[in-house]
Structure 1
C-alpha cells in the first residue's frame, strides 16, 4: 500500500519527476513552508534524505555529492532568505557544470511584498547562475495545471542533465495548511525523453583540423581542473607522441610521462628574453578552468597565431584573447582522430620545455636545503608522505597554488572549487564528496577558509576516514604574496584578517579527533597517526609563520629564476 504523502498535487508531481530523472539523494534544510516537500520526499522509499541545517553548507555539500556521484542531487529549503543562502553553491555548480536541483518553497504570490513573514521575491534569484528556472502553479488542481507542470519540470530536468549539465531552480509556492497528507493512486508520472548522440565531426572537418595543426611546429595544450578522464588522457598522450606540448595542472588528474606538470614551477623560470621561445604558434584549450596566472600572462602577452577552444557552450570563452576556432563535440574523440591522422613533427618545441622542466626541478629541490619552517615546507613534507588512494580537496587561495609546485605520488585524485574560486564552501564540498565515495577524503585548507565554513562539519554524515589539515598561519596568507595588499597599511586588519583563533574547539564540537603541529618535526611524527584508521574523522591543525611564509614563497620563485635572494 502506498504511503501517505503531502496532499498538494504539485508536490507529488515534482517528487515523481525527480525520481524519474535520476535524483537519488535529497539534502533538506528545516523549515515550515517546505513541510509538504519534506513529508513527500522523506516518505518515499526512492530517495535518501539528508538533513543539514545551514543552507549555505547544505548547498556545497550537495555540490560535492553530485560531483562525486556524477548525477543530480536535490536541495530543499523553506521560503525567504533560506533560498538566498544557496546562491554561492549554485554559482559554483554553474561554472563547474554540476547538476543540482534547487527546490525552494515559497509563499503565494499575492503575499509577496505585503509585510508577511519569510516572503521575498524568489523567482529569478539565481538569474545569472542557473541553467533553467521556473515557478510551479499554486493550485495544481486543474488538468491544464498538471499538463503545464509536467512539461515545465521535464524541460527543467533536461537542462539539468543535458550536454552542459548544471543547476536548475524550481520555485514551489504553497498555501497553508502545509501538513495535510493523502494517499494517491499508484500512477506513473509522464517522463519526456530527449535522445542525443555523442556529436562527432565529419571526415572533412577532421581533415581540416589535421591540415591546420600540421602547419604549426609549436603546438601547446593546457589542461586545468577536471574529473579524471581516461579517454582524454589517451588522446592527449597521442598528441604528445606527435610532438605536441601538453601542460597539466594538479587538478587535471592527468598522470604520465608525456605531460609537463608543475606548470607554475616551469613558467616562473622563463625570463622576458625567453618568452617567445616558449610561446606556441598554436594553442589548444578545453572548456575547464585553468589556475595558473603565469601561463595566462605569458599567452596573453604573446598571442598564438591560432587558438582552438573545445566548448559546447553557446557563448564564446576567450580566456587568452586569441580564440580563432570554437570546436563543439567530444574533445577526446576529436583529438584522437586528429592525432591519428597528423604526422609526427620534430621535437624541438617539446625539448625546450623538457630541458626547462628538468632545470626547474633541480632548482626546486636545491631551494629546500636550508629553508626554515613555512607553508612551503609543510607542502613539501606532505608531498613526501604516501597518500595513495586518497581523494584530496584543496582550499582556494594558497593551498591550491602550493600543491601545483610539488610532485605527488600517483593514485590520488584532486579537486577544488575552481568554478568561482571562492573560499566559502570548501569544507562542505569535501564533506559531501566524502559521504558519496568509498575513498578516503583529505581536505587541505587554510585557516580563514576553514573557519568561514566550519558549519560544513555540522551534520552526521562525516565518514570516519574523512581527514582535514588546517594550515593556520594566522590569516589570509595569499595577501602577503600577491602584489598590492602586502604594501598597504591595511594588510593585517582588512586583507589578511589577522587572528589568534585555533580549531581545537571546533573539532571538539563536531566530534573530530584533534592533532596539532608547530614545526616540521612534529608534523612528520603526527602524519602516520593522522592517516591511520580511526573511529572518528580527524583534524590536524598545523601552525606556520605568516610573515615568513609569504617572504619564502617570493624567495622561492626568485630562486627558480636564478635571481639573487
Structure 2
C-alpha cells in the first residue's frame, strides 16, 4: 500500500513529474505554507530529501549538487521572502546552465497585497534568470486542471534539461488546511518527451567552415570554465597539431601539452607595440565564461577578422565585439570535423605564443626564489605540494585569479561560480559538490567569502573528506590590486572592508577541525595534517599580509614583463 502524502492533487502531479524527469534529490527549507510539498516529497520515498534552513545557502548547495551530478535538483521553500533568498543562486545557475527546479509555495492569489503574513507577489519573481516559469492553479479538482498541470510542467522540465539547460520556477499557491494526507492509486503520470536532432553539421556546413578557416593563418581558440570534456580535448589536440593556438584556463579542466595555459601570466607580458603579433585573424570561442580580463582587453582592442562562437542560446553573445558567426550544435563534434578537413597552418603564430609562454614560465619561477610570505607565496607552495586526486572549488575575487597563475598536479578538477562571479555562495556550492562527489572536495576561499557564506556549513551533509583553505588577508584583497580602489581614502572601510576576524569560531560552531598558519613554515607544516584522513571536515585558516600581498602581486606582473 502506498504511503500517505499530501491531499493536494496539484502537489501530487508536481512530485510525480519531478520523478519522471530525473529529479533524485530535493533540498528543502522549513516552513508551513510548503508543508504539502514537504509531506509529498518525503512521503513518496522516491527522492533523497535534504533539509537546509537558510534558503540562500540551500539554493547554492543544490547548485553544487546539480553541477556535480549533471542532473536536475529541486529546491523547495515556503512563501514570502524565503523565495527571494533563492535569487542569487538561481541567477548563477542560469549563467552556468545548471538545471535547478525552483519550487516556491505561495499564498492564494486573493490574499496577495492584503496585509496577510508571508504574502508577496511571487509569479515572475526571478525575472530573466529562469528558462521557464509558471504558477499552478489552486484547485486541482477538475480533469482540465490535471491536464493543464501535466502539460505545462512537462514543458518546463524539457526546458530545464534541454539543449541549453538551466533553472525553472514553479510557483505553487496553496490554501489551508495544509497538513491533510491521503493515499492515491498508482496511476502513472504522463511524461511528454522531446526528441532532438543531430548535433553534427552537414557536410556542406563543415565545408563552409573549413573553407573560411583555411583562408587565414593566425587562428586562436579560447576556452573558459567548463566540465572536463575528453571529446573536446581530442578535437583541440587535433587543431593544435594543425597550428591553431589553444588558450585554456585552470577552470577549463583541459590538460594538453600543446595548449597555452596560465593565460594572464602570458598576456601580461605582451607590450602594446607587439600585440599585433599575438592577435588572431580568426577567434573561436565557446559558450562558457572566460576569466581573463587581460586577454579580453587585448582582443577587443585588436579585433579579429572572423569570430566563430559556439552557442545554443537564443541570443547572441558578442564578448569581443567582433562576432561574425554563431554555430549551433556540439562544439567537440563540429571542431573535430573541421580539424580533420582543414589544411596545416603556418606555425609562426603558434610558435610566437609558445615561445612567450616558455619565457614567462622562466620568469615566473625566478620570481619565487626569494619571495617573502604573501598570498602569492601561499599559492606557489600549494601548487608545489603535489595535491592528491581531488576536486578544487575556488572562491571569486583573488583566489580564482591566483589559481590561474600556477601549474598544478594532473587530474585535478576545478570549479568556481563564474556565471555571475559573486562571492555569496562559494561555500554552499562547494559543500553541495562535496556531498555528491566521489572524490574529496577542497575549497580555497577568501576570508570575506567565508564569513559571507558561513551558513553554507549549517547542515549535516558535510563529508569528512571536505577541506576548506581560508586565505585570511584581512578583507577584500582584490581591491589592493585592481586599478582605482587602492588610491582612494575609502579603501579599508568600504572596499577592502577590513574585519580583523578569525574563522576559528565558525569552525567550532559547525564541528570542523581547525588549523591555522601565519607564515610559510606553519603553512607547510600543517599541510600534511590538513590532507590527512579525518573523522570530520577540516578548515585551515592561513593569515597573510594584506598590504604586502597587493604590492607583491603588482611587482610580480612587472617582473614578468620588464625583463623579457
Whole-Å Cα distance in 2 between the matches of residues 467 and 55 of structure 1? 23
Please say if 1:100 is aligned against 2:63.
no
- Find the counterpart in structure 1 of residue 5 from structure 2: 5
Matching of residues 388-403 of structure 1 within 5 Å: 388-403=388-403
How do 1:23-34 residues align onto structure 2 when only pairs under 5 Å count?
23-34=23-34
* TM-aligned CA deviation for residue 386 of structure 1: 1.7
Equivalence for 1:281: 281
Q: What displacement does 1:322 show?
A: 0.2
Matches within 5 A, 1:116-265: 116-265=116-265
| Residue 563 of structure 1, CA deviation | 6.1
Equivalenced residue count is 564
> 2:104 aligns to what SS in structure 1?
strand
The 3-state SS of whatever aligns with 1:176 is coil
1:347-426 to 2 correspondences below 5 Å: 347-426=347-426
SS in 2 for 1:205: helix
- Separation in 1, partners of 2:521, 2:447: 21
Q: What whole-Å deviation, never above 9, does each CA across 1:370-410 have from its counterpart, x for those lacking one?
A: 11100000000000112231100000000000000000010
Q: Secondary structure at the match of 2:366?
A: helix
Pairing 1:539-554 to 2, within 5 Å after superposition = 539-554=539-554
Q: What residue in structure 1 maps to residue 512 of structure 2?
A: 512
Name stretches of at least 5 consecutive residues in structure 2 with no aligned partner. Answer: none
Deviation, structure 1 residue 369: 1.5
CA distance in 1, matches of 2:324, 2:153: 38
Q: CA deviation at 1:197?
A: 2.8
- Determine the C-alpha separation between the residues in 2 that align with 1:164 and 1:250: 24
1:92: how far off? 0.2
Q: Secondary structure at the match of 1:561?
A: helix
Offset of residue 462 of structure 1 = 0.4
Asked if the contact 1:198–1:330 (Cα under 8 Å) also holds between the matched residues in 2, the reply is no
3-state secondary structure, aligned to 2:369: coil
Distance in 1 (CA, whole Å) between partners of 2:44 and 2:550 is 53
The superposition leaves residues 509-543 of structure 1 with CA deviations (integer Å, 9 ceiling, x where unpaired) of 00000000001111000001100100000000000
Counterpart mapping for 1:298-337 below 5 A: 298-337=298-337
Tell me how far apart the structure 2 counterparts of residues 289 and 538 of structure 1 sit (CA, whole Å). Answer: 31
Q: Counterparts of 1:496-511 in structure 2 under 5 Å?
A: 496-511=496-511
| Deviations 1:391-443 (CA, angstroms, capped at 9, x unpaired) | 00000000000000000010100000000000000000000000011110000
Q: Which residue of 2 aligns with 1:460?
A: 460
Counterpart CA distance in 1 for 2:388 and 2:345 is: 36
Q: Structure 2 matches for 1:38-117, cutoff 5 A?
A: 38-117=38-117
Q: Distance in 2 between matches of 1:384 and 1:421?
A: 27
Q: Determine the structure 1 residue equivalent to 2:523.
A: 523
TM-score (norm 2): 0.99
Please show how residues 442-453 of structure 1 align to structure 2 within 5 Å. Answer: 442-453=442-453
Alpha-carbon separation, structure 1, partners of 2:547 and 2:238: 45
Work out the CA distance in 2 between the residues paired with 1:44 and 1:175: 21
Once residues 127 and 546 of structure 1 are traced to their aligned partners in structure 2, the CA distance between those partners, rounded to angstroms, is 39
The yes-or-no answer on 1:19 pairing with 2:11 is no
Mean CA deviation greater in 337-346 or 544-553 = 337-346
SS at match of 2:172: strand
The Cα shift of 1:313 comes to 0.7
Aligned equivalent of 1:532: 532
Question: CA deviation digits over 1:284-307, x for unaligned, max 9?
Answer: 000000000000000000000100
Q: CA RMSD in A?
A: 0.8
User: What are the ranges of 5 or more consecutive residues in structure 1 without an aligned counterpart?
Assistant: none
CA distance in 2, matches of 1:241, 1:71: 35
For residues 11-56 of structure 1, the C-alpha deviation after alignment (integer angstroms, 9 at most, x for no partner) is: 0000000000000000000000000000000011110000000000
Cα deviation 1:81-127 (Å, max 9, x = unaligned): 00000000000000000000000000000000000000000000101
After superposition, what is the alpha-carbon deviation per residue over 1:446-501, rounded to whole angstroms, capped at 9, x for unaligned? 00001000000000000000000000011000000000100000000000001111
Tell me what 1:37 maps to. 37
Cα distance, 1:198 vs structure 2: 3.4
TM-score (norm 1): 0.99
Distance apart, 1:200 and its partner CA: 1.5
CA distance in 2, matches of 1:388, 1:74: 32
Residue 64 of structure 1: CA displacement? 0.2
Once residues 153 and 560 of structure 2 are traced to their aligned partners in structure 1, the CA distance between those partners, rounded to angstroms, is 55
Q: Hey, what's the Cα distance between the residues in 1 that align with 2:387 and 2:442?
A: 9
Query: Structure 1 stretches (4+) deviating beyond 4 angstroms?
Result: none
